[in-house]
């Protein structure tokens, strides 16, 4: 039987599921897609087939919900799809109990040309693999945006505010060694208003990130990330907004993403088919070689038959 896929993503579309706040340990059929953690701001040079990075994630909310699992991101292959060069990202989420849930997403390289790549991440997803079919082959699905998103004329990220501050540099100790990192603090908030027949409400999700950035780590360039996520709400009767009062905190959670390991080889893709687990350059070279082998060469010119001895004349 094929397994269902749950593309968990926060409302801001800026972060992946693992940074969206603490949730109960992921069950086996719930998949995490970590495309939001890749570094899209410094060019595609770090996207090389076979590169991977592994993190340990812990989180706890004021309501008492905790989480503890690891996530491995792997550049699992490349594919030319619908006229675009794309790359496959596999995400392996493993709970503390050892349950492993892999997923794969095909991303367009065009995302590196977008100055707003982070809030536009979902616009560059092309296909997903979240399980297998009855015959064991990968269950590939086109990534489709919802009807409301397609019809909407509002810009992506409407209602979102974001600011970033540089906090200097620091030598960070990790399980993989010491790294000289730039520290960046980002704060972003997404506010959404809604109205019913007799009341209105405003909800706000606010995220604060402290990121330790270094080019020595592939794919994400992140050695550590500390996250604080809060949800607040304000409601009032229609026409009486002056009585709404201040925002009321619903929950606050804190999490830490710590580097465990990384490399440029040594891992084998679990979801992406074998023929796509290579760079596009390697795939095209193999195709050209196969095409040349199928093309017959020029026929050799027929050699003239050697002249035989003259037959004796019969009188």
pLDDT grade for 156, boundaries at 50, 70 and 90: low
Give the residue with greater pLDDT, 13 vs 313.
313
Nearest-angstrom CA–CA distance, 87 and 75: 7
Of the ranges 16-25, 92-101, 170-179, 290-299, which one carries the lowest mean pLDDT score? 16-25
- Cβ–Cβ under 8 Å, residues 71 and 34: yes
Question: Exposure of 182 by Cβ count < 10 A (0-12 exposed, 13-18 middle, 19+ buried)?
Answer: middle
Strand segments, DSSP code E, in the chain are 52-61, 66-81, 84-95, 100-108, 125-132, 138-142, 160-174, 177-195, 199-213, 222-237, 248-263
Q: Residue 109 in 3-state DSSP?
A: helix
pTM for the structure as a whole: 0.79
- The contacts of residue 247 (CB under 8 Å, 6+ apart) are 202, 204, 232, 233, 234
Select from 216, 202, 212 the least CA-distant residue to 248.
Answer: 202
Give the pLDDT of residue 120: 85
Mean pLDDT on 149-162 = 65
In order, the DSSP letters of 239-304 are T-GGG--S-EEEEEEEEEEEEEEEESSS---SSS-GGGSS-HHHHHHHHHHHHHHHSPPPPPPPPP
Q: Are strands 100-108 and 66-81 parallel, antiparallel or unpaired?
A: unpaired
Return the ∠ at Cα 14 (arms to 95 and 33), rounded to 5°.
35
CA atoms within 13 A on the CB side of 199: 8
Nearest-angstrom CA–CA distance, 274 and 246: 55
Locus of tokens 């990220």: 157
Residues in the chain, total:
315
Q: Are strands 248-263 and 177-195 parallel, antiparallel or unpaired?
A: unpaired
Q: Residue 187 in 3-state DSSP?
A: strand
Give the pLDDT of residue 294: 87
Give the residue with greater pLDDT, 214 vs 300.
214
pLDDT grade for 197, boundaries at 50, 70 and 90: confident
- The contacts of residue 32 (CB under 8 Å, 6+ apart) are 8, 16, 17, 18, 26, 71, 91, 93, 101, 103
Give the pLDDT of residue 28: 38
Mean pLDDT on 215-239 = 92
- Cβ–Cβ under 8 Å, residues 212 and 224: yes
Mean pLDDT on 67-85 = 95
Mean pLDDT on 274-295 = 93
């Amino acid at each position: 039987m094929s397994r269902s896929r749950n593309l968990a993503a926060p409302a801001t579309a800026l972060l992946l599921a693992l940074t969206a706040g603490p949730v109960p340990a992921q069950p086996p059929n719930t998949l995490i897609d970590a495309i939001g953690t890749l570094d899209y701001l410094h060019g595609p040079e770090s996207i090389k087939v076979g590169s991977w990075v592994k993190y340990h994630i812990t989180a706890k909310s004021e309501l008492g919900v905790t989480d503890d699992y690891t996530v491995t991101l792997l550049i699992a292959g490349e594919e030319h799809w619908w006229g675009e060069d794309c790359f496959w990202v596999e995400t392996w989420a493993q709970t503390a109990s050892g349950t492993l849930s892999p997923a794969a997403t095909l991303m367009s390289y065009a995302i590196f040309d977008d100055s707003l790549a982070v809030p536009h991440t979902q616009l560059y997803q092309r296909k997903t693999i979240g399980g297998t079919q009855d015959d064991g082959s990968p269950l590939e699905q086109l990534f489709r945006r919802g009807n409301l998103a397609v019809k909407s004329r509002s810009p992506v990220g409407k209602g979102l505010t974001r600011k970033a501050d540089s906090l200097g540099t620091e030598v960070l100790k990790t399980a993989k060694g010491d790294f000289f990192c730039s520290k960046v603090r980002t704060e972003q908030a997404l506010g959404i208003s809604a109205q019913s027949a007799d009341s209105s409400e405003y909800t706000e999700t606010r995220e604060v990130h402290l990121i330790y950035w270094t080019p020595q780590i592939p794919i994400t360039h992140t050695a550590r990330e500390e996250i604080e996520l809060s949800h607040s709400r304000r409601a009032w009767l229609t026409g009486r907004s002056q009585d709404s009062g201040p925002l009321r905190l619903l929950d606050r959670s804190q999490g830490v993403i710590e580097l465990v390991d990384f490399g440029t080889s040594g891992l084998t893709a679990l979801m992406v088919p074998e023929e796509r687990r290579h760079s596009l350059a390697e795939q095209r070279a193999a195709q050209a070689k196969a095409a040349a082998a199928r093309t017959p060469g020029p026929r050799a010119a027929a050699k003239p038959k050697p002249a035989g001895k003259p037959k004796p004349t019969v009188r």
